[in-house]
Chain A
């Protein structure tokens, strides 16, 4: 079973074998998997099997279990800027695991860089929206997978990836220009600054010379563009400083009014093991927040609330279709005041069951 590695180890120098052996023994004075932890897991398993409810992890930082439900009860706040955190450099931050893959980050809904780019200028990021081809000309040193574009009622809202430095030093990599958001009329294939209206620009620095703002992803929602943005600090091997869900009323911006970035939520780390997701209702210009209080398979355990971006009001929905797996752009049906509406899931959060994340592993065929 260890043939290959043993062969490799035989090629190691004696000195190397020594440190390899030494380090391979144990990294800590005591085993991290303690009897107390084992007991805790046993109790949790018993709790779940008897339906006694969900116990928070010892380090779930109190509010974790409340999760989205708590937020929905407390109300969605609108307030000024904040910050977020990252994993390793200003990379794509998408929360939709691709079923069957090893839960690597999947492409965001709007980064349609996989589209055909035949006929477009070299380096262009191609997009297809409502059957129409668009392309964003970019210098060759830009990461076109970070190009964003979505359709709104007022036109195509897009943002080019800014130039970066220190590609070979991920901890030091950062953008050297701020992220900007542009608006181009529908049907105008070229998404270029020369022919677009700039509607918003984030600051470059986020409170210090080593912290930078990052625009992560876009979603079109009728008259609005919904986005996740935040900031990161270079040299910090940790994460993003914070994440915010926000929106801009594109229609007002198109009319020449000053675009306002409205923050909706601050998404901050707190461990939870129950699934949840956010869906966009493009027709209604609303965001649907769904949280599972129990495991998947208990449709009555879902809590769902809709946020109307125009009025800022939020309401509990009458019904919402059950989503059993975190599928990219899953169609969601919900009912409000007896009327059926449709939304598209764009962000998945929390703990989805392993069998949903790794269907191949659990495939019985």
Chain B
């Protein structure tokens, strides 16, 4: 925590070296991207894009939010762009089929084997809006206010989604007797 806060202060005075930025926040960005896209390949690509964007634009960071929240915001929007561009990304001639979709489909099938426990499988099966708040809370440890700012919704909405997300996992755990 100390080192991350130090980095946050650093960003207000100068650009954080890319390497340091990645060491501090690489895991956070990658996991958030993965939880939103459910794809390791996409998480890799999105992480790259996020850090390159952040590195290029860090001088413009104004410090209204924590540096981590700023990075997660870029991550989230890059993920949205990625999702949308699953079909928008590029123009391909008719008859051409990107392997990306098939790669992801195959990857999805293998997802269940990746997690350290069944609870994460259950979390990944939640609808996006519930999965996202749960991940931001558990993994990213953002406050409700930070989540609300990041998601662009009211704090009450965040609390409501968190409550419902927990309720769904609680019910699933009970049902599966985990």
Q: Mark B102-141, 1 if CB is under 8 A from A, else 0.
A: 0111001000001111011001000110000000011101
Q: Given known contacts A41-B48, A63-B96, A349-B88, is B40 in contact with A32 (CB within 8 Å)?
A: yes
Q: Are B152 and A349 in contact (CB under 8 A)?
A: no
Q: Are A67 and B84 in contact (CB under 8 A)?
A: no
Q: Are B45 and A57 in contact (CB under 8 A)?
A: yes
Q: Are A59 and B101 in contact (CB under 8 A)?
A: no
Q: How far is the CB of A76 from chain B (nearest CB, A)?
A: 7
Chain A residues, Cβ within 8 Å of B7: none
A361 to B57 CA separation, bound complex (whole angstroms): 11
Q: How far is the CB of B64 from chain A (nearest CB, A)?
A: 8
Q: Given known contacts A23-B123, A32-B31, A88-B128, is B88 in contact with A243 (CB within 8 Å)?
A: yes
Is the CB of A120 closer than 8 A to any CB of chain B? no
B85 to A, closest residue via Cβ = A349
Size bracket of the B interface: 35 or more
- Segment at the interface with B among A78-86, A140-148, A172-180, A336-344: A78-86
Q: Are A272 and B87 in contact (CB under 8 A)?
A: no
Chain A residues, Cβ within 8 Å of B117: 22-23
Contact partner of B92 among A3, A16, A24, A268, CB < 8 A?
A: A268
Q: How far is the CB of B156 from chain A (nearest CB, A)?
A: 11
A105 to B45 CA separation, bound complex (whole angstroms): 21
A20 to B, closest residue via Cβ = B138
Chain A residues, Cβ within 8 Å of B56: 353
Q: Are B73 and A358 in contact (CB under 8 A)?
A: yes
Q: Given known contacts A95-B84, A354-B53, is B115 in contact with A27 (CB within 8 Å)?
A: yes
Is the CB of B99 closer than 8 A to any CB of chain A? yes
Of residues 197 through 230 on chain A, the ones whose CB sits less than 8 Å from some CB of chain B are 230
Chain B residues, Cβ within 8 Å of A67: 90-91
Contact partner of B85 among A24, A27, A41, A350, CB < 8 A?
A: A350
Q: Are B77 and A238 in contact (CB under 8 A)?
A: no
Q: Are B51 and A268 in contact (CB under 8 A)?
A: no
Is the CB of A151 closer than 8 A to any CB of chain B? no
Q: Are A270 and B166 in contact (CB under 8 A)?
A: no
Chain A residues, Cβ within 8 Å of B104: 238
Q: Given known contacts A170-B127, A350-B90, A353-B53, is B18 in contact with A41 (CB within 8 Å)?
A: yes
B134 to A, closest residue via Cβ = A23
Is the CB of A357 closer than 8 A to any CB of chain B? yes
9 residue pairs, one from A and one from B, having the closest CB atoms? A33-B30, A4-B144, A33-B26, A24-B138, A243-B87, A59-B41, A103-B77, A270-B98, A67-B90
| Sample of 14 more A-B contacts, CB < 8 Å, known A42-B18, A266-B94, A268-B90 | A8-B159, A33-B30, A44-B48, A45-B51, A71-B93, A85-B86, A87-B84, A265-B92, A268-B97, A270-B98, A272-B89, A355-B57, A357-B77, A364-B62
